[in-house]
Structure 1
Amino acid sequence: LTEERLLTEANLLREVLKTPITQGKKEEIKSLISEVGKKIEIRITVLDKDGVVIGDSEEDPARMENHAKRPEVIDAVSKGTGKSIRYSTTVKKDMFYVALPVENQTGEVEAIVRTALPLSFLEKLFSPLKSKVIYLALILIFIAISLSFASSRALTKSLDKTIKLSEEIAKGNFNVSIPISDKKGEIGKLNLALSTMAKKLDDLFKQVSLEKTQLETVLSTMSEGVMVVRGDGTITLINSALKDMLGIKDDSIGKPYWEILRIREIMDLVEKVIKKQVAEKREISVFYPTERYFLTSAIPLNSEVKEAIFVIFDITEFKRLERIKADIVANVSHELRTPLTAIKGYVETLEEGAYENPEERNHFLSIIKRHTDRLINIVSDLLLLSEIERKSAPWGEEPKAAFENVDFKEVVYSSLEALKSRVEEKGINVSLSIKEDLPKYRGDRFLLEQMFINLIDNAVKYTPEGGTIGVQVNQTNSHFGIEVFDTGIGIPKDHLPRIFERFYRADKTRSRKLGGTGLGLSIVKHVVIMHGGEIKVESEVGKGSRFIITFPV
């Protein structure tokens, strides 16, 4: 019971004295413990963190030695609670001590509060042979406690509420109701400070929560990958875009970057920026398992943990477009240079005297005309392809503005009529299968006709004399189906993935000989895409090819 009493009183005193101790009000401490010590008849001692006595309820602190080596003080600092029964060199008595540390906001020990009772008092209290003394002592203790309780009832009640409210705030409940009954006293000041602190903490947590939500929203909608790494290599932030970009499926927060990242060049960049704390940009190429290109930007953050933020852009598509652009320029240059060189050569031959020979002149002029026609066809196809891309671009002319009701049967017949002479010249059989009562389709009639002409023209070119070409058009509830097939030479399987590229030819020599520009199938694909459709090809060498197109109804 005595130990519990000393511990309880020490706890109460620690809370009451915490503010004066942290504020360094030594005189107020001395006055308070002297007054309380007399009322509760317990010896009270307050020490600073170095063991120097600040105040004592029974002795002058100036005449007391350093208490840092006292066992109860050592245990209080190291274990949180100190107890000991020993002889006091100050009051010359055997005493029972209980000591508790007073900690600041950062958890460091600022002071020690110690309560004590003499053993002689305890012996009298528990001696069965001195019942009268015990009875008298109990009466005196009851009277002392009653007087103390009567004089400090308001203080204790407010203090208990303050302690409970402090515990609620510590749990994160900032909407507590804090009564402020005495604004002049120490408890009133403490309640006022708690009220202000709770409100500020509530506002701060709401602001932090809002900013966190905004940051998470921004990061989740970014197409760029973002990652923050601490100086020890721990990942503290990573957005979904980067996870998708690098194929990261596991939870990455709190893990070292070398366990998460699999690309050596990115890992080397992270290591360099963290160690040297310097900003750096780097383009990274990855060729396994697929070819990818990344542009990375790293900036060290001015923080104690030496964090760095990494922003990663997937520039694979940009690289692909650059390559396509370069290929187009090279192909166009090559396709234009070949006929121009031929024209120039034959013009020079004519200038050197061949013009005087009618037979040679006519022969050379026919060659020049053929190459001129080829140049016109290439330029016309390029202009048509450019026009289709312009209409299909998000920022370009709305393609549906030129849409009209199109009769597929009429378009197929007009396309065949345009190629009639070539079909008859090669003796090619034409097979048509067009569903009766086919509804009209909303589309660009000119481009759809150009699509049929290009497909049928290719079928005629690559089908030997006496072969067969065919066109089929049908319609279901969800789409129109179009097939253009032939019994020609077919396309090797390794060429099929690239046949819709500009200027790509499976057989370049045969294609140029037949007058192809290498742009026909590319135009076909862009027309299909512009109308929201899909195109695929089936082909077998020596048996022919079949182009299958679907348009949504």
Structure 2
Amino acid sequence: MLKLHQLFLRTFSLIFLLMLLVLSVTIYFWSKHIYLDQIEKNLSQNIDSLSFSFTNLDNIKYIVKTFKAKTGNRITIIDEKGNVLADSDKNIKQMENHSNRYEIIHAKYNGYGKKIRFSHTLNEELLYVAKKIVVDDKIYYIRLADYTYKIQDNFTELVYQLIAFLTLFLVGFFFVTYYLSLKIKDETNSILEYLVQMSNKKPKQEIYSDFCEEFNKITRLLNKVASRLSKREKQKAKQTAKLKIANRQKDEIISAISHEFKNPIAIITGYAETILNDKELPSKMQTNFLNKIYSNGNKMSHIIDKLRLTLKLEEGKQNIMTSECSLRKILDEIVSDLQDKYTQREINIIGDDVKIKIDETLFSMVLTNLIENALKYSEDEVTIKITQDSISIIDKGIGIDENEINKINQKFYRVSQNGWNNSLGLGLFIVHSILKLHNFELVIKSKIHEGSEFQIKY
């Protein structure tokens, strides 16, 4: 298969050869027609000049020879019956009667006749022009003839000149065409190389062409396609990174859930095995072991409920039933339960009671989670401050790094730096989701080693 520049050159070469042939044939017939018209015109003028000098036939041979020498035309004088009376180029005794010649017949009836014919007498092709004249009341025909070989000579010279001109033109055009073909080759190679780079997804830089409008449009379109592909690759890379993070989070979640379930299951299994294997176990110890099994079963159930609630909140399937509730009453119940668990800790509630419209069960979970976190991650007292537009849980614990504050509301996000570990990473996600259902806002203020404040604005 030919390359583009080779096809381009071959096509133009064929076109120019065809043009040369067509021009040669056209110029030949065109020049022949012009030359014959010119010969005919000259012969007609010469006949007119010669006819004026024919006053008698006494000196006819001298007139014929003299006129032949001046014009170079063949001259023949013919009488009315077609007999040749004088000829500049041939002995009249060897010439036959001319009454049947085409040009003589036409001159007889029209006064003027012409014909291109091959002369067997001279063995050449000639143009004959004949005119009828009257001398002493007798009809004669003056016939002049010129050789057409001059046309061939003139045409040959013209063709040589034409070929030389077209050759120079063709050579010049060839170099121009060759230069254009090389430019086209360079442009196409550049585009092909860019396409290869695009297929490898690594275009080094944008491609540009100012050779012609078509190539310019192609390169601009290629740049747009490359830009879109690059954006898609970046999006794909981002999605891949997100999937990797999601997979890592999934592994962490499974690990966290396994860890959360491992201890209760181990405790339940250990105590149950002890009860089954030791038939003489004291009743009091047996009751104690059963209570341990029961509490750890409840702990596992609580973890499952927390996971189910997380899914409901995330999918927007959790509905709330609000009523006007006393914050102080809810806090008293929560603090009472937590102090049973954290017997050595002090929880202070300051501020006047406020009644707000909330879902009591869900909002109790929010306060329990925040207060218990404050107890877990601090050793000093925990303060609960109530105002008319907010409630704050304040501790003097390890604090949270500023970079982590915006992330801890995310599901399964766990902060391990400085000892902060949000268990499964669900607690604050649940808090944030429940507050969002109430159109409340959670504001977190914290400093490392100084403590944290979780403020709910309602």
TM-score range, shorter chain: 0.3 to 0.5
Q: Which has the higher helix share?
A: 2
- TM value normalised by structure 2: 0.47
Larger RCO: 1 or 2 (CA < 8 Å, sep 6+): 2
Task: Name the TM-score, length of structure 1 as normaliser.
Answer: 0.40
Larger radius of gyration: 2
